[in-house]
Structure 1
Amino acid sequence: MTTLTAPPAHATRAASAHRLTFGHLIRSEGIKLVSLRSTWWSLGIAAALSVGISMMIAAASSSFGPEFPAVSAILTPTQFTMLVAGILGAIAITGEYSTGMIRSTLTADPRRGTVLAAKAVVVSALMAATTVVMYAIAILATSPLLSEQIDWSDAAQSWIPLAYGVLSMVAFTLIGLGWGFLVRNGAGAIAATVGLLFVLPIVTSMFAMAGEAWQWIVDLGEYLPMAAASTISTPGAEDVLPALLALIGWVAVLLVGGWAVLRTRDA
């Protein structure tokens, strides 16, 4: 009978020594993400929506009156591009579960929290960079069409809302990633992401017609991700801290939930 023995200590140390560093893991996750056709389709659709809708709004800006902030032409498309951002975050992980690649990922680095963190950093960096480029293109494309130009000397009417817009797009992407880790199914994660970002705000707003007794639902709706993002990215907005904390809270809850599921379930 063959006797099973534990691996020698030097073998265990060797395996630990070959564990990927966080930098190598970031590089690996980046290569995986940018090699997917779905990534470039998602980013391309987001860019087309952002620039196209911005140009339409800018062309009609003379009808909105002098109170319309010019930078809103750049930020308004977020109501549509948020869905693309969330879906990108979801498929960044669910694709690995559908192909079985997640097992290779966790074999290369069994520190599951580190794997989640690396994916979050990569999708955040890619979405932030893409959003900056989208905004830059939209600004150049809409400049000849705007009835009034963006006042770059006024940070509250220009740089600050745009920075919050970038932050919001990153948050939407991480929300999708969190749902992806929780659900581990592409269709389910996308449905949950769309439901939270798009459907729930519509449902809560409908209660505004139901009278004072249901006003509390409308008030809670102000802390949903899209409403919170809209609040912080509104030009000249004051007291944005509650909305900012709400947006960060959604991201934190979903990522921590995804981490808990990743730790306790088999790949």
Structure 2
Amino acid sequence: MSTLAATAEEPRTTPARPAYRVTGRRVLSSEWAKLWSLRSTWITLGLGLLFLVAFGLISASRYKSGINSGHTDRDFADATAVSLSLFGTNFAQLALGVLGVLVTAGEYSTGMIRSTLAAVPRRLPVLWSKAAVFGLVALVVGTLGAFVAFGFGSGIVSGTPAAMSLTHAGVVRSLLGAGLYLGLVGVIGTALGALLRSVAGGISVLVAALMLVPGLISLLPSSWQDDISPYLPSNAGEAMFALTTTSPRRPVSSVSTATRRASSPANAARRARPSACAPAGGRPTSTQRAEPGARSRRQCGGLPACSSTTAIEFRA
């Protein structure tokens, strides 16, 4: 009896639960594990890499055969080793963009998003982690595929007018730009999947934005095409990996031109120096005030006619 009473009086000890905290590093590691645990990730990344390399080699081989036969296609008239090797970018972007949609919209379709949000109640860290993880993977795959395609493609077109190497100006920048563009396409696909929460809807919008809309823009008036085309994802991507050895000269606005001229030391010294057409007192004559644009060289002491701005400065 005493033994039972002593046993009943002993306090019950509950095992302490380990303290788990939701941190950014842990969310990233969970998204990394979920990405590589899917079979579709390996298949789609392999297809994207295959498209990028295979179509680049096919394009380079076709150019080489045209050069050897003496019948070069008009589309390859200004082709380079970079443009030929990156011909498969348009096909690789579809594979990586579709996988980006699957990364986010796939969880909504299967209901896995409930477990994800139960573990991480805040949605923004989940979305940022998904975009960062897959964007980095797509960037690495795209850059690797671009360099591999150029390595084989430059060997095929060696000895032709399109032959180039990595030491040529702008080649490395173009290859890195292609990888960056493919990484951004993956992030766009991730964003579409999170917004639409539908695999079919996200893929449809992605294909329309990358493939259909640029063709429909050609039906618009030319004035509209010039305003809309530079902002399309495909056209902006082509500008990222286009081979340019010299930076194009852009038109400068009149405001920036006037600011630059006004701030130059030479112009500042010229404005501070007295003008040859102004009298010693600093005030212009009545003829100069009446006709600022009709002064001749004789009135200015043999110098070119002074502007009305100079007369106003000396009047002050």
Given the two structures, how large is their TM-score scaled by the length of structure 2? 0.65
Q: Is the 8 A contact 2:57 2:149 kept in 1?
A: yes
- Deviation for aligned residue 1:21: 1.5
1:231 matched residue in structure 2: 239
User: Which deviates further from its counterpart, 145-154 or 221-230?
Assistant: 145-154
Please, which of 101, 106, 112 is the counterpart of residue 112 of structure 2?
101
CA distance in 1, matches of 2:203, 2:190: 10
- Bigger RCO (CA 8 Å, 6+ sep): 1
Does 2:162 correspond to 1:154?
no
Q: How big is each residue's C-alpha offset from its partner over 1:157-210, in whole Å with a ceiling of 9 and x where there is no partner?
A: x11111111111011111111110110011011101111111111110233xxx
Task: Say which of 87, 101, 110 aligns to 2:98.
Answer: 87
The aligned runs of 1:59-138 (5 Å cut-off) are 59-61=61-63, 62=67, 63=72, 67-138=78-149
Indicate conservation of the 8 Å contact 2:81/2:153, yes or no: no
C-alpha distance in 1 between matches for 2:249 and 2:189: 23
Instruction: Compare 230-239 and 198-207 and name the one that shifted more.
Output: 230-239
1:240–1:139 CA distance, 2 compared to 1 (3 A): farther
Q: Distance in 1 between matches of 2:85 and 2:115?
A: 41
2:224 aligned residue:
216
Offset, 1:78: 1.1
Inter-CA distance 25–234: structure 2 relative to 1 (3 Å threshold): same
Pick which of 67-76 and 44-53 moved more. 67-76
State the one-letter code of the partner of 2:232.
Answer: L
| Alignment-derived partner of residue 20 in structure 2 | 18
Letter in 2 for 1:56: I
SS of equivalent residue, structure 1 residue 76: helix
Q: Which of 177, 199, 203 is the matching residue for 1:164?
A: 177
Please report how far the alpha carbon of residue 137 of structure 1 lies from its aligned counterpart in structure 2 after TM superposition. Answer: 2.5
Other-structure match for 1:4:
none
What is the CA-CA distance between 1:240 and the residue it aligns to? 11
5+ residue gaps, structure 1, are: 1-13, 242-267
Relative distance call for 1:67 and 1:192 in structure 2 (3 A) is: closer
Report the counterpart of residue 295 of structure 2 in structure 1: none
Instruction: Give 2:216's match in structure 1, choosing from 162, 182, 203.
Output: 203
| Equivalent position amino acid for 2:236 in 1 | A
Gaps of 5+ in 2: 1-16, 251-316
Cα distance change of structure 1 residues 140 and 170 upon mapping to structure 2, 3 Å threshold: same
1:111 is displaced (CA, Å) by: 2.0
Q: Cα RMSD between the aligned structures?
A: 2.3
Tell me the residue number matched to 1:47. 49
| Distance change >3 Å, CA 77–CA 99, structure 1 → 2 | same
Residues 205, 218 of structure 1: 8 Å contact kept: no
Q: Highest CA radius of gyration, 1 or 2? A: 2
1:180 aligned to 2:182? no
CA-CA distance at 1:132 after TM superposition: 2.2
Q: Report the equivalent of 1:11.
A: none
Report deviation, 1:66: 7.2
The structure whose residues are more often helix, as a share, is: 1
CA distance in 2, matches of 1:134, 1:161: 13
